[in-house]
Structure 1
């Protein structure tokens, strides 16, 4: 398993890094392997066909990648599973270079490999966590979006596009000229908050109006939930019904206030649990006029203005 290859600076660097290195002929039979390969794969590898050492599920793709090495594209990188001598299933990554003669015919393949089991395990856990998160988000009816900081491109999932009034097939996950669709009354606030969030100076959590494809306005609540890998990922929901309900409540309160002022009446709100009372500006005047001897100032039920209403 040894040879004068140890004198080659490139192989010496690989050896110092505990990377695996080997060579195989045009038929993909191993000609040489270093001591790190031997520690993982065994001492009896020489002469074996490289793809046949891999699990059946990985053989065809890896062999095809190696066979695709030509003078114009002399290198490829592959990943595959490998069953070590102790029975452990590991992941290896190999960068394979072709060596050609003057006519462009392949003479040998030189390969440098490393164990990437921990990286693959981390990626598997990340993907599993992402799947769980997306399932949880789908169950709530929320949409998801992501913004790539380098390109400033936004991408929306099908549910987000539905909330925003766009067809997933027509928009391909992207909505052009996003700021032009934000309501003019919200635009300055939205842009200022987003610029701070994109610069890492604040958290993105914003409610604003957006014009849909049909021209209607929809209220959305957009929140960033992750910032990593050069992207900001978030969720959004349609809050139009809540905003309409809030507006109806405000309108109802305005009408009540107009009616009270027109009738020259006061309004009071008494909490049966705490004994607290809230009075409108007109109430004390009305009550004092009706009962001049009633002690208003300093009375506990007058001074404790608590807005909790009784629930039964």
Structure 2
């Protein structure tokens, strides 16, 4: 064959490809088409068109329908390639000629045809096989418009058809199986659209396919349950997670029965979400049984669990096999087995175990008080008791016990003992204070009558301080309350008048409150007799503040008199001075500085406050 570069008419054979190479190398003298350089322009153009196409194509030309095809079509020929290139169409496909001849005649008559998944029995690998093709036949005309041949575009669809057939068979088997299943089965698309419901669904609900598919299945749920069921389904479908919900489903007779609806997501091999396959099961009897069981358990709880005690049982070996839920509410543990010991106070654990072992070995009742750790981390006092149940032969078959919270009672008892001890201590302290006041007051008195009056007034000051503390349950008092009570007898009808007391809120211990009350009483008494409160224009200013770190807070208090008679320094310490120094400086680890300035007495007090560690 001549070089295609030398003949412009053969340019369509230039290029790559197995068929182009074969066409260039072929001896065309035996072909009904003749040599390519003699082919009409319409044939050369059509040949060039199919050779350049990536789709399976062939052209049959002339009276003998010479057969030309491209590389893609050669894959459909099997062992008919390359021998079929340039041969008569009928000799290439003799086994199917009877089937396709009428279609060829139509194309040659100017009528195009198109077929999808056309079955043909072909022999291209040495044996007959049924293959499926989608193809079209179209007429091909020459320059004058005369039909000279036909053009075919084809694609083998055997695998697709077989896959679809197998899918249909699989779906048929699935539907047969699903329709025979004792449960209701459903399938959804990725968007949640229900594309399939099996026959048991329609028989159970009375819905038709038109009513049930899509989202119509929700119409069969109870109106009160539908919002929850619908939301649960959509949330799970959006997240591609397993789905499970219980709701009441309307049966065909109109009765609503409890059902459980559960499904798992389906995924393709590439991981893409395909939707759900799920099932619905009637659980009405089970649900009714659960309700009956809950009612029975509720009755039990009212009898046992709601009892203020925690009931429990144990095997003969002491292993706890049932513990009321109240124990878990208390401690956060089950209490089963020997785990009850995990929450006992370390100081009570050993004796509690010993008492339980003794009861198990002797058969005597178990009775002990102990502390147990609550979920808050705090310990509370408990009273645990247990008694054995024996069989006809006297063998222990079960222990029945209870644990009662006695914390308030126990704390009350401890508080009572503490109060008694505290009362003894306070009475002793009060008697010691009275004794000290009496000793100082009646030691070498100038006048017994004056001494008696002073002693009475001092006892009243002490009583007023006790009143302040009693109002606070002897937990302490505020400085303002102590000052107000101590100064009440020395203030005029107008209130503060000659006395000004100011400072922040300061808490005092009982001991400090008593000492300051007596000190303020002495200062007021002295000011009323000899100082600023003895004249109409005199004034007393009391200032205080609190300083120091949190662990060592101290009260700094200043008493200043002004506008009174001129003050002279006393030649000896009076009882008031000694009482102030003894009670504040000596007993409270404080500091007292009394100064007798001409313009008025000043007293500076530095003592611990309640904030001190």
Q: Contact (CA 8 Å) 1:144, 1:233: kept in 2 or not?
A: no
Residue 34 in structure 1 maps to residue 69 in structure 2: yes
Unaligned runs of 5+ in 1: 299-312
Deviation readout 1:22-75 (Å, 9 max, x if unpaired): 5599xxx97645253573373266137989618x9xx69xx89x98xxx99964
Selected match of 2:260 from 215, 220, 230 = 220
Q: Which residue of 2 aligns with 1:78?
A: 117
Q: Which residue of 2 aligns with 1:145?
A: 186
Q: Write out aligned runs for 1:47-58 (5 A).
A: 47=90, 53=96
Q: Write out aligned runs for 1:295-306 (5 A).
A: none
Residue 251 in structure 1 maps to residue 295 in structure 2: yes
Q: Secondary structure at the match of 1:215?
A: coil
C-alpha spacing 1:214/1:136, structure 2 compared with 1 (3 Å): closer
Q: Write out aligned runs for 1:62-101 (5 A).
A: 75-86=114-125, 87=127, 89=129, 91-99=131-139
Q: Contact (CA 8 Å) 1:268, 1:279: kept in 2 or not?
A: yes
Selected match of 2:279 from 236, 260, 266 = 236
Larger RCO (CA within 8 A; separation ≥ 6): 1
Task: Report the Cα distance in structure 2 between the residues aligned to 1:184 and 1:22, rounded to whole angstroms.
Answer: 67
Shift of 1:182: 2.8
Q: Contact (CA 8 Å) 1:206, 1:223: kept in 2 or not?
A: no
C-alpha spacing 1:238/1:231, structure 2 compared with 1 (3 Å): same
Structure whose alpha-carbon radius of gyration is higher: 2
Residue 191 in structure 1 maps to residue 230 in structure 2: yes
Q: Which residue of 2 aligns with 1:114?
A: 155
Q: Secondary structure at the match of 2:201?
A: helix
Q: Secondary structure at the match of 1:209?
A: strand
Task: Report the Cα distance in structure 2 between the residues aligned to 1:171 and 1:198, rounded to whole angstroms.
Answer: 22
Q: Contact (CA 8 Å) 1:100, 1:108: kept in 2 or not?
A: yes
Q: Secondary structure at the match of 1:254?
A: helix
Q: Contact (CA 8 Å) 2:119, 2:131: kept in 1 or not?
A: yes
Task: Report the Cα distance in structure 2 between the residues aligned to 1:167 and 1:173, rounded to whole angstroms.
Answer: 6
C-alpha spacing 1:124/1:72, structure 2 compared with 1 (3 Å): same
Selected match of 2:89 from 46, 49, 63 = 46
Task: Report the Cα distance in structure 2 between the residues aligned to 1:270 and 1:72, rounded to whole angstroms.
Answer: 96
Shift of 1:205: 3.4
Shift of 1:291: 3.8
TM-score calculated relative to the size of structure 1: 0.61
Q: Which residue of 2 aligns with 1:158?
A: 199
Q: Which residue of 1 aligns with 2:248?
A: 209
Q: Secondary structure at the match of 2:90?
A: coil
Task: Report the Cα distance in structure 1 between the residues aligned to 2:266 and 2:153, rounded to whole angstroms.
Answer: 36
C-alpha spacing 1:182/1:277, structure 2 compared with 1 (3 Å): same
Q: Contact (CA 8 Å) 2:60, 2:89: kept in 1 or not?
A: no
Shift of 1:158: 0.9
Structure (1 or 2) with the greater helix fraction: 2
Q: Contact (CA 8 Å) 1:93, 1:115: kept in 2 or not?
A: yes
Q: Contact (CA 8 Å) 2:122, 2:128: kept in 1 or not?
A: yes
TM-score calculated relative to the size of structure 2: 0.35
Aligned residues: 274
